[in-house]
Amino acid sequence: MSKQRTKVESLETTVDNHFLEIDVYYNLGGMNFFQGQTEPRGFWLSVSPVRKSRVEGNPNLTMTHTIPTDGARAFIEEAKRFSQKRLDQLVTLLKDGSDARIKDFRERAIARVLAKTGWALKSPEQTPSAV
């Protein structure tokens, strides 16, 4: 993981070895040729479905398989350049849920990923209320 991306949390799902990983990262913006549109420069929230598996012969090594097409992301705020201090502040706001706008982004992104994958979160208090 680059220093411009911070993993906030990993939510366990009811499917064995499947998780939702939540990250906050800085993107330089510009043309996204995959989506065919221009993206703003700034901080983004990402929710990615992943599958984790142990490597045979080495119990200490875990492989993480990302399912990129089923993920969701949301633009948090514009920034002309990267600031580690601001990234840390956004991670703190996301963890404590004190900013209603960022909390709403998180809940909507989780709900979108759960709808795409058909998974459910293992812990009911982690399930987002907004869809």
Per-residue pLDDT of 17-75, as tens digits, reads 999 999 999 999 999 888 788 999 999 999 999 999 888 888 788 888 887 788 999 99
What pLDDT shows up at residue 130?
A: 40
Of 114, 115, 110, give the one whose Cα is nearest residue 94. 110
Whether residue 117 has pLDDT greater than 90? yes
Has residue 118 got a pLDDT over 60? yes
What's the whole-number mean pLDDT along residues 10-15?
A: 93
Q: How far is CA 79 from CA 24, 31, 41, 49, in A?
A: 13, 16, 6, 27
pLDDT reading at 124 higher than 90: no
